[in-house]
Amino acid sequence: MKTVLFVYFALMIISFSGCQKGSGQASVAGMNACINNPSSCNTSAYNQNQGYVPYNYNNSYNYGYNYNYNQPFNYINNTAYLCNCPNGTMPTYNSYSGLGCVRSASTQAAYGYFYYYMGWNTNQWYTTPYLSTYSYNQSTCYNGVVQSCLVNSTNNMCPAGYTCRATSAGNTLGLCTAAYR
């Protein structure tokens, strides 16, 4: 029982610390704005960086879903999942570019780092220690995103303790990472 309580409190501390505004971190309201109004995002940034593609805003990846432009999540077993990234990629998000997809290999290539993951629940982002997957209609669905960021910006969108690490040389987009301690 002590272990369960310890794990519960540790997860709560991690969750709350992820929502605090640190230097260069967008507020939760700012993070939600792009989900609630995708036209306010600069999704073309995902076309301009190696290893990234836009999320299915324009239905360019037809997986047979009834995709709603204003609601990118598929609700499976009462949980929000992102299912519209091409094979070999996983969802990524930041409040400048909105939803996109990044090569899954990009999150495995950085040995010695861990990534900042967010899930979506009750119309808001929350921090999560890892992403889980769900197979649906011959595609992989994710219960969240790895946070992408702007490499050369003073407001790189990463939370306190994380830095924006480019996934390829010359990319202006990166992923929020922290070194193992």
- 91-147: pLDDT as tens digits: 999 988 889 999 998 887 556 778 999 998 877 888 998 899 988 777 789 999 999
Identity of the residue numbered 18: G
Tokens standing for 89? 């990629």
Predicted local confidence at residue 70, as pLDDT: 57
Q: How many domains does the chain have?
A: 1
Q: Please state, in angstroms and as integers, the Cα–Cα distance from residue 115 to each residue in 7, 109, 127, 130, 162, following that order.
A: 20, 12, 11, 8, 8
- Evaluate if residue 24 carries a pLDDT over 90: no
Between CA 99 and CA 145 the distance in angstroms is 9
19, pLDDT greater than 50: no
Q: What is the pLDDT of residues 37-67, one digit of tens each?
A: 777 888 889 999 999 998 874 444 434 334 4
Res 34: pLDDT: 78
| Cβ atoms of residues 82 and 146 within 8 Å | no
pLDDT in tens, 155-173: 778 988 899 999 888 999 9
Range of the domain at 53: 2-179
DSSP annotation of 43: G
